[in-house]
């Protein structure tokens, strides 16, 4: 079943891009630094101006109020934003099991955002995103600041979420080994267009 589809999506730097992701599928997107991967993800989340058509479960963007589209098509930016000082205030709900998998106990909710390390911010931003119950995950280098053990746990959590919710995942990664582990299909952004990643030689 197709979950997420974009047709002729065009922003100032990217496009036109056509892409369809099935329910429960993970697609990896790579491409040179500055090729527009982050901008593409922001457009998909309807955070930047764009033209073209995007659909979730066959329903176009303008069939949703913008906040609902952004909740259902969830973007994990490379740098997360926090708007109050207490970690717990940012969570729609606290999933103790998922938090424990990423190394956080219930006391984490009382922590100040200012004390968070870069890797803690990245993992907590993912937990916060999943707490919103998105149908599509747009993950912008979600393990860029993590050690190998944490990378493994994040990959496991996203896989469990994807299978459990039949979510469609678009995962930006510069790491071919990671793409091989997490994705069923690999794409590359080149000169503003999305093309199939050439097989490794
Ligand atoms: N607000 C903006 N105004 C003008 N140009 C921008 C803006 N944001 C990004 N760009 C430019 O658009 C291009 C694509 O940026 P983007 O962040 O999407 O790249 P990326 O593929 O995600 O790169 P990386 O792999 O380094 O994260 C870059 O040349 C960047 O400088």
Q: Whose CA is nearest to atom 11 of ligand 1?
A: 34
pTM of the model: 0.95
Average pLDDT on 101-115 reads: 97
Structural domain that includes position 162: 2-196
Q: How many CA atoms lie less than 13 Å away from 62 in the CB half-sphere?
A: 4
Q: Determine, yes or no, domain membership for 91.
A: yes
- Say what percent of the chain tops pLDDT 90: 92
Q: Whose CA is nearest to atom 24 of ligand 1?
A: 33
Task: Give pLDDT tens digits for 10-45.
Answer: 998 899 999 999 999 999 999 999 999 999 999 999
Task: Summarize the confidence of residues 174-189 as an average pLDDT.
Answer: 95
User: Does 31 sit in the ligand 1 pocket, CB within 6 Å?
Assistant: yes
Q: Which atom of ligand 1 is nearest to the CA of 14?
A: 14
9 occurs within a structural domain: yes
Mean pLDDT, the chain, whole residue set? 95
In a domain, 201, yes or no: no
Pick the atom of ligand 1 nearest to 174's CA: 25
Q: Is the CB of 38 under 6 A from ligand 1?
A: yes
Read off the CATH number of the domain in which 18 is found.
Answer: 3.40.50.300
- Would you call 68 helix, strand, or coil by DSSP? helix
Is 191 inside any structural domain? yes
Residue written as token pair 């996203």: 158
pLDDT of 200 higher than 80: no
**pLDDT given at position 201:** 45
Q: What is the count of structural domains for the chain?
A: 1
As a whole number of angstroms, the longest Cα–Cα distance in the chain is 49
């Amino acid at each position: 079943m197709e979950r997420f589809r974009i047709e002729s999506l065009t922003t100032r730097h990217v496009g036109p891009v056509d892409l369809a992701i099935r329910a429960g599928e993970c697609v990896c997107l790579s491409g040179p630094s500055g090729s527009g991967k982050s901008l593409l993800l922001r457009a998909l989340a309807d955070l930047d101006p764009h033209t073209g058509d995007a659909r979730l479960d066959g329903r176009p963007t303008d069939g949703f109020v913008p906040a609902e589209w952004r909740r259902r098509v969830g973007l994990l930016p490379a740098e997360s934003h926090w708007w109050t000082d207490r970690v717990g205030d940012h969570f729609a709900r606290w999933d103790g099991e998922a938090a424990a998998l990423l190394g956080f106990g219930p006391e984490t909710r009382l922590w100040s955002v200012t004390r968070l390390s870069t890797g803690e911010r990245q993992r907590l931003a993912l937990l916060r995103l999943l707490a919103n119950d998105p149908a599509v995950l747009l993950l912008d280098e979600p393990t860029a600041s993590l050690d190998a053990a944490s990378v493994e746990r994040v990959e496991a959590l996203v896989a469990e979420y994807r299978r459990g919710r039949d979510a469609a995942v678009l995962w930006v990664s510069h790491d071919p080994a990671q793409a091989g582990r997490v994705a069923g299909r690999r794409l590359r952004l080149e000169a503003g267009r999305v093309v199939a990643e050439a097989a490794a030689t």
